[in-house]
Chain A
Amino acid sequence: MSEPICLLEAVNLALARSLQDDPEVILFGEDIGHNGGVFRATDGLAHRFGAHRVVDTPLAETMIAGTAVGMATQGLRPVVEIQFMGFIFPAFEQLICHAARMRHRTRGRLSCPMVLRAPFGGGIHAPEHHSESTEALLAHIPGLRVVIPSSPARAYGLLLGAIHSDDPVIFLEPKRIYRASRTLVEDNGAALPIDRCFTLREGSDLTLIGFGAMIPECLDAAEQLAERGIDCEVIDVASLNPIDYDTLLASVAKTGRAVIVHEAPGKGGVGADISAVLGEQLWGQLRAPIIRVTGLDTVMPYYRNEMHYLPGVSDILDAVNKSLEAGRDEILQATGSG
């Protein structure tokens, strides 16, 4: 690849690479064929690989998921698209009752190596039901892997990792940053591990933990904090189930402070889980309470208000300040001064 590409094009590149390398890979979903998907994630693929490999389906989400399960049990590697995460709910029964359990249920005889891709998240001024982040509902399910990229390179590598995986993988694409930045991504077929966090920036004062479209916000915040001499570690969780707690624990053990950022409502969110694990494991080593910066506990508002709902850099900076202050209070108390 000689041209820098965006996250969306990296998805396309990984899909093309998989279709090229593995005849067992088949893509299907609504409008993904001739039209190349409503976001163009599959642009040109039907033309290049044929309508039998990149297949338009009737409009039925339960069917898309259930058919993928059936195909996968027969050894194919279906990579299916749900057009928007807001329309994933009819697929839940299939994902939870079957995709997640097929290998377990058959004691390893059958498995379910399928990938279900869906664009998710807000910030693009979309209509109702087109901006939700309901990743926690899926990350809660044993047996389902949930993977979220946050850069073109990770979109390419993680999607290949998802397609190579013998487990069912939900691959959620942060559509707000589909075209946000461009980087060179080498089309070398190299997968990234889908059970690891990515440490994007090293630091010793505080750990900023996020995923998806919140990663650019976290990096931006870290940059501003660096100018103030505050040194943040930024970790992209990337895999929401299972979560690479080891990397998170090691980082927070080092910094003693953690701020967790995601778009979804805080209640019952992935951040609550990470926060609980950090608290359970690092009791005594924390220098401040773990703080979550999340979407609000209400429905995703219509687009005029969406920026009042989504966390942004200033919210992250506020949380970081609070964390640093909490630590200072403690130190002041401990030393008896102030």
Chain B
Amino acid sequence: MRDIVFKTEIALTRYLSADGKPLDTLPPWCSAAEPLTTYYRWMVLARQFDQKAIALQRTGQLGTYASSLGAEAIDVVTGHLMTPADVLVPYYRNHALQMIRGTPMHDILLYWGGDERGNSGAAMGRDLPNAVPIATQTLHAAGAAAALKYRHQPHAVVCLCGDGATSKGDFAEALNLAGVWHLPLVMIVNNNQWAISVPRHMQCAAPTLAQKALAAGIPAEQVDGNDAIALHEVIEHALVRARSGKGPSLIEALSYRLSDHTTADDASRYRAPEKLKEAWQNDPIRRLRHYLLDQGLWDDAQERACLDEAQNRVQSAVEQYLATPPEPVECMFEYLYAERPEQLSGQIDSARIRGGGSA
């Protein structure tokens, strides 16, 4: 006798074609201007910020920067669906999401500009800071979710990571624990098809990354990460589940990294230009703009005003960033321990003298 003991399928949700045409009956809320025009404005802002940050890096005014080009819909929709009491556990590409959660734009520039004060996240509550070591944040998310559950708080933890991150043990361990402990966790994988130069098919032989959650007993699905409407539906559903004690879920958002990996990378070394050109057809901003225009929810005047406003906001953040006085040298010793051990005092003087003693 041979029984089938486990069988499953992974759904992919998509509502709009690349040109913004409905592929299906849309959820009723999509006929209203809100929240879609807010999403759109933020996506435009995210892209303006991104362009400016790259320009700053190219002119020596910012350090290495990880672009979010092509990931705008994922960030913006997630940011708007989270409540202040939910906890965000981001990775290094979630600039717009962090802005929506309250991080000032110039703080994000400070962080990428090598100034530790950019990470203070004064307005971020208990959200976690950027995690640079890949996938490590997935475990922080499990821990934060365990804390919410331990305290019987009806909120969710939202964690983001890349497709490359799903190959790391941390990711599997986090999902496994979230399943066993039934944690209020929403894990969003931004599958942008690349981990620096390594393409998606060299990362994992499984047809979806979502299915990795099934091994942990967690429901999982794919969503078109360039489709704000689909993202809204799928993420909202997962958040409600988590907040109401129904446990974790995993969302694999299919997107495409339209930029180099970071400003230190040159993707033309490993990526055919045609591929990139093709991917631009799925640009999440273009898709939503077409939809909004078709529905009469948006017009050219609004488009111009939106762009102007975004550029102004970015410009004033850049000015604030560039006008920030340098970090005092003792910053490197601050906050290391709850109380600074006396023996480090002498080293503060050494630090001041090193590097020419300009501080």
Which A residues form the contact surface with B (CB < 8 A)?
26, 52, 57-58, 60, 62-63, 65-76, 78, 90, 93-94, 97-98, 103-111, 142-143, 145, 165-167, 195, 242, 245
Contacts and interface: CB of A to CB of B under 8 A. Distances in A.
A37 B206 CA distance: 38
A62 B150 contact: no
Given A70-B147, A74-B144, A107-B117, A97 B338 contact: no
B169 to A, nearest CB: 6
Contacts of B148: 74
B143 A70 contact: yes
Contact of A63 (B126, B145, B176): B176
A106 to B, nearest CB: 5
Interface residues of B, number: 42
A70 B139 contact: yes
Nearest to A166: B338
Most chain B CB within a 10 A radius of its CB, from A72, A103, A110, A245: A110
Given A68-B143, A94-B136, 17 more contacts: A57-B177, A58-B176, A60-B176, A62-B170, A67-B140, A71-B143, A71-B147, A73-B140, A74-B87, A76-B147, A103-B336, A103-B337, A105-B129, A106-B120, A106-B121, A107-B335, A110-B129
Contacts of A167: 337-338
A63 B338 contact: no
A69 B150 contact: no
Contacts of B146: 67, 70-71
A23 to B, nearest CB: 9
A128 B180 CA distance: 30
Contacts of A57: 177
A245 B147 contact: no
B136 A66 contact: yes
B170 A110 contact: no
Contacts of B174: 63, 66-67
Given A107-B119, A109-B120, A109-B122, A66 B170 contact: yes
A242 B202 CA distance: 44
A245 B343 contact: yes
A110 to B, nearest CB: 7
Given A106-B120, A107-B116, A94 B336 contact: no
A66 B142 contact: yes
Nearest to B331: A107
Contacts of B337: 103, 143, 145, 167, 242
Most chain B CB within a 10 A radius of its CB, from A68, A70, A75, A103: A70
B274 interface: no
B341 interface: yes
Nearest to B130: A105
B141 interface: yes
A69 B343 contact: no
A103 B116 CA distance: 12
Contacts of B120: 106-109
Nearest to B122: A109
A167 B340 CA distance: 11
B91 to A, nearest CB: 13
Contact of B133 (A90, A97, A107, A195): A97
A98 B133 CA distance: 9
Nearest to A168: B337
Please report whether the interface of chain B is mostly helix, strand, loop or mixed according to DSSP.
Answer: helix
Contacts of A67: 139-140, 142-143, 146, 174, 177
Contacts of A105: 116, 119, 129
Kindly list the 3 A-B residue pairs having the minimum CB-CB distance in the complex, ordered from nearest.
A70-B143, A66-B139, A70-B140
B128 interface: yes
A82 to B, nearest CB: 14
B334 interface: yes
A104 B173 contact: no
A192 B132 CA distance: 36
Nearest to B111: A105
Contacts of B122: 109
B99 interface: no
Most chain B CB within a 10 A radius of its CB, from A52, A62, A167: A62
B136 A74 contact: no
Most chain B CB within a 10 A radius of its CB, from A52, A98, A165, A166: A98
Contact of A70 (B142, B334, B335): B142
Given A60-B173, A70-B146, A104-B336, A242 B141 contact: no
A52 B336 contact: no
A195 B336 CA distance: 15
B113 to A, nearest CB: 15
A93 to B, nearest CB: 6
A278 B139 CA distance: 41
Given A60-B173, A74-B148, A111-B338, A106 B139 contact: no
Contacts of A62: 139, 169-170, 173
A98 B131 CA distance: 9
B124 interface: yes
B109 interface: no
B64 to A, nearest CB: 17
A108 B174 CA distance: 26
Nearest to B168: A62
8 contacts: A63-B177, A67-B142, A70-B141, A71-B150, A74-B144, A94-B139, A103-B335, A109-B120
Interface in B64-121: 87, 89, 116-117, 119-121
Nearest to A111: B338
Contact of A106 (B119, B145, B147): B119
A253 to B, nearest CB: 16
B143 A26 contact: no
A105 B173 CA distance: 24
A78 B128 CA distance: 17
A63 to B, nearest CB: 4
Given A52-B150, A58-B180, A72 B116 contact: no
